[in-house]
Amino acid sequence: MSRNTKINLLLLAVVAALAVLPLALGLGDHKDEPFAGADGEAETAITEIEPDYEPWFSPLYEPPSGEIESALFSLQAALGAGVLAYYFGLRRGRRQGEQRALEREGDTGSVLAGAGGKSADGRD
> Average pLDDT in the 39-53 region?
86
The answer on pLDDT for 53 being more than 80 is yes
Residue partners of 40: CB distance under 8 A and separation at least 6: 33
pLDDT (tens digit, 9 = 90+) per residue, 73-97?
A: 999 999 999 999 999 999 999 999 9
The answer on pLDDT for 58 being more than 80 is yes
Query: So what's the pLDDT on residue 66?
Result: 82
Cα 75 to Cα 22, 54, 65, 71, 86, distances in angstroms: 25, 30, 16, 6, 16
**Which pTM does this prediction carry?**
0.50
